[in-house]
Amino acid sequence: MPSNEIILKVEDVYKKFPVKKRTLHAVSGISFELFRGETLGLVGESGCGKSTLARMIAGSLPVTSGTITLNGVDYTKMKPKEFRKFRRNIQMVFQDPLSSFSPRMKIGKYICEPRINYDRVSKEEAMKEACVLLEKVGLPADFADRFPHELSGGQLQRVAIARAMAIDPRLLICDEATGALDVSIQNQIAKLLVGFIEEKNMGCLFIGHDLALVRSVTQRIAIMYLGRIVELINSEDLEKECAHPYTQALLGSVFDVYCDRSRPIALLTGEPPSPLELHEGCPFAVRCGNCTERCTREVPALEETAPGHSVACFNPVSR
């Protein structure tokens, strides 16, 4: 269960990319906190800035402005040599596990690398630990002698999780970690991640497109639109309490096999504005049915409307 201890704090983070003579606003003023033992979901359509934010939190992409602290340490201003030691505290699991593997490296050596590099343990000790980790993620220990091409996508993702857990990180970032897998395998991987997070009492940022899956494995969900968080809500309250028009549109796009097929599908009109040409006011205004004149002039701040529920909207609505 999540505690009241803040493990990750993101404060007013921006990321801008120069594109010829213009500026691309990838992330704009994002702030949130992640608690120890908590899994926070991050949801939004493609291009909203989820992966850019994840890369900044992982330290692989510098922030333009703002601070990111892990256990009270602001690592965005660390020197490269200092950050290399600190980086062990943050691990990532990516969507395509095969791209993370060297085709010439056996699975066991892949899992051993972090322990050997960071903790200077012997190769023999690291291999023993790798075999134990393989069994913990549901794979036989003899998989340590296999090459990546001999494993399926789901098996490779289990190996990627084992490697991430090898050095006991404080923060795990899952960037579409189940997106390329079959539905049945997605649930298995999600349960595996939840088990590790509870066992290690760490923090997890779970990024995904599948709102139903994200809701099932997280305690809170942050909804992103065009580089901003527009709603932050407890996962169990999402369906009944969400108040931002964009969140409601996302929920309206979720269907199951028992849904009413005669129900009309509510579609969002228009296209998201280009991050190269941001207009004044709320970024969702051009697609929002509740838009007023104020929405076209001012950007709404993310404000708490109820305990554990924050919305960035001048005209929030109830379901």
- Measure the CA–CA gap between 174 and 247, rounded to whole angstroms: 21
| Closest listed residue to residue 161, CA positions, set 117, 85, 100 | 100
Confidence of residue 256 (pLDDT cuts 50, 70, 90): low
Asked whether 300 and 313 are in contact (CB, 8 A), the reply is yes
Q: Which of 138-142, 196-200, 255-259 has the lowest mean pLDDT?
A: 255-259
pLDDT score, position 184:
77
pLDDT score, position 101:
85
Residue 266 pLDDT more than 70?
Answer: no
Pairs from 185-190 (Cβ < 8 Å, separation ≥ 24): 185/153, 185/154, 185/157, 186/210, 186/213, 187/213, 188/138, 188/154, 189/154, 189/157, 189/158, 189/161, 190/216, 190/217
- Measure the CA–CA gap between 105 and 37, rounded to whole angstroms: 33
Q: How many angstroms separate the most distant Cα atoms in the chain?
A: 67
Q: Which of 122-136, 221-235, 274-288, 300-314 has the lowest mean pLDDT?
A: 274-288
Start-to-end CA span in the chain (Å): 28
Which one has a higher pLDDT value, 317 or 218?
A: 218
pLDDT score, position 112:
94
Asked whether 235 and 308 are in contact (CB, 8 A), the reply is no
pLDDT score, position 189:
84
In this structure, what are the phi and psi dihedrals at residue 8, rounded to the nearest 5 degrees? -130, 135
pLDDT score, position 134:
94
pLDDT score, position 191:
85
pLDDT score, position 165:
92
Mean pLDDT of the chain: 89
pLDDT score, position 288:
87
Domain 6-99+168-311's class? alpha beta
Residue 55 pLDDT more than 90?
Answer: yes
Give the neighbor-by-neighbor strand order of the sheet with 171-175.
Answer: 90-93, 171-175, 203-208, 39-43, 220-225, 228-234, 309-311, 303-306
